[in-house]
Amino acid sequence: MNAKRPKWFKSFLVKYRRSVIFALVLGLAASGCAALLMFTSGYLISATAIPGISLFTIMVPVACVQLFGFGRPAARYLERLISHDWVLKITSDLRRMLYWGIERRAGDPERRRAAGEYLGLLSDDVAHLQNLYLRVVFPTAVAILLAVGASIVFGVFSIPFALLMVLVFALVVAVLPNVALLATRVQTAYAKSLRAQEYTSLTDDVLGAADWVLANRGADAVGAHMKASITLREIELKLRTRQRVLSLVGTIVLGLAVCAVVVWSSGRFGSTGMDMSAGFIAAFVLGFFPLIEAFSVLPAAVSQAPVHEESILRLDEYVSDKPQTSPAPEILESGHCGQGALVFDHVSYTYPGASKPALNGLTLTVDAGSSIALLGRSGSGKSTFAEIALGALAPTSGTVDVGGTIGFLGQTPYLFNRSLRENLTLGVLDASDDKLVQTLENVGLGEKFESLENGLDTIVGETGVGFSGGEAHRIALARALAADTAIVLVDEPFAALDPITETQLLDTLFTTCEGRTLVVITHHLAQIERFDRVVFIEDGRLDLDGSPAELMEASDRFRKLVEFDR
């Protein structure tokens, strides 16, 4: 992997270094116990075959067999317990950092990503980081330590044979895994790329499943994903085949090493005849077999390094997300303009890659407690105004002063797959049930609430399943009102509603927001006379501004728009 790993990657190892060291020691102990168990078992088997052997002579080997037989599963259990514990802590910390990074990106159009990519980050990429520690770093570290330990043991009896084993261990621990890495790097990265694309496209198609079905092309969408899945499986099959071939080569090399151990131990301990030293022949041979298990997994493990590396780089984009170094625009603290007021002073904003600004020096003051209808054609800058007011976007120039918290009601309000209470208390955690019920009654949902068998504990359902479009809008409005926000900002709330529901919701808005500042972004002029003020935005600038009565008298354009809308 790349030597320049992200700082957060290394920081996890430092933060949990005690657990890492302890887990490595236990992993080495488990493998060492397995080798010593086979070693003492081989010695014991050979010793019991010698005529006239006494029970006292084999008591120590028998005790060692019992000790190592118990020590291996105990050490393995503790190693798995500790290693998985700290890896799960790491992934928990990482997901928390990812959520924070994604939240910071949510309002930036240039850095915003598809939902499928976020799902891939939170599931697939985090899982790769987890597997990197458990299936690459740990096995490789334990294998290297075992190779060093085995070489030292062989060196005690024969330096030349120890050097031969060093060559064998270097081949199976370093050479073959790197050959596997080179042989599978391209296809592994390609499979990772296909899997990431499939996350994005599948999520997109699931969210738009209704449109696929209505267009009678559901089978086409499923077929495309099946084709992509088959392609991915074929690539993964080729990768597994190459990994198995290299693992087989490694096993053959280790098998030849076993033969070398047989020849060496026979020459070293077999020339003395039928005495206790002859037991070391079987001891060394059997003791070598557990090393094969530790070394044979390395080619397949290391060949996955490109996937893990790509995941780390993708995660680093979010985890190491830093604020831009350019001077921040001036955004005044809430309250400078008075509670409930909203002031835009020569505010401009240009989307990345756009040829002209969405807002171009907009100056607008919304008085506290007033109701304003903000109108304009599509692309005139209305939604940009809302995002800047909410703090989702920072203006490239100018100042914004928000006098209090803003409650927001969008065109398609999102209802979480949780209880009605949790949906209402999104912006306020200490609201009493009585207050929530009263808020529901204020927005016209009293009768609907009485029909709910579980009351506030009713599961709303993802995207508001079980509630009509108008009811979903009212729940979202109740959510904003329950937080006692000074300003209520409504962005195109009537686009998907029928005229009757639109009129009812508008009545609810005026009733429940009395005394609050109400800003309604819309392209409808129905009941426009009920607003204190009407503002038109054109090409990011203020075009018309006045009360409905004033504009009806002074502006031919406004009169024609009202007549046309009616």
Residues 467, 460 contacting (CB under 8 angstroms):
yes
Q: Which pLDDT score is estimated for 328?
A: 45
Q: What is the 3-state secondary structure (H, E, C) of 3-40?
A: CCCCHHHHHHHHHCHHHHHHHHHHHHHHHHHHHHHHHH
Structure tokens at 245: 């071939």
Residue indicated by tokens 């809302």 = 386
Task: Say what the pLDDT of residue 260 is.
Answer: 92
Structural domains for the chain: 7-319 (1.20.1560.10), 342-565 (3.40.50.300)
* pLDDT mean by block of 10 residues, the chain; 566 residues: 58 79 88 89 79 68 86 89 83 73 60 55 65 77 88 90 91 85 78 75 72 73 84 85 82 89 85 64 87 80 70 66 44 56 90 84 89 86 87 86 83 78 78 85 83 84 65 81 83 68 76 85 79 89 88 84 76
Rounded Cα distance between 150 and 138, Å, is 18
The pLDDT value given to residue 327: 44
- What is residue 329's predicted lDDT score, i.e. its pLDDT? 46
Q: What are phi and psi of 344, to 5 degrees?
A: -110, 125
The whole-model pTM stands at 0.54
Asked if 142 and 248 touch (Cβ cutoff 8 Å), the reply is: no
Burial profile 116-148: b = 16 or more Cβ within 10 angstroms, e = fewer: bbbebbbebbbebbbbbbbbbbbbbebbbbbbe
Q: Which residues pair with 491 in a beta bridge?
A: 521
Residue closest to 340 by CA, chosen among 498, 203, 485:
485
CA distance 421 to 435: 11
Of the candidates 375, 366, 372, 361, the residue with the CA atom closest to the CA atom of residue 342: 366
Q: Which helix (H) or strand (E) covers residue 487, if one does?
A: strand 487-491
Q: In sequence order, what E strands does 240-387 have?
A: 342-349, 359-366, 371-375
Which residue, chain included where needed, has tokens 């790769």? 128
Token couple for 510 = 């005026």
3-class SS at 353? coil
The whole-angstrom separation of Cα 124 and Cα 360 is: 42
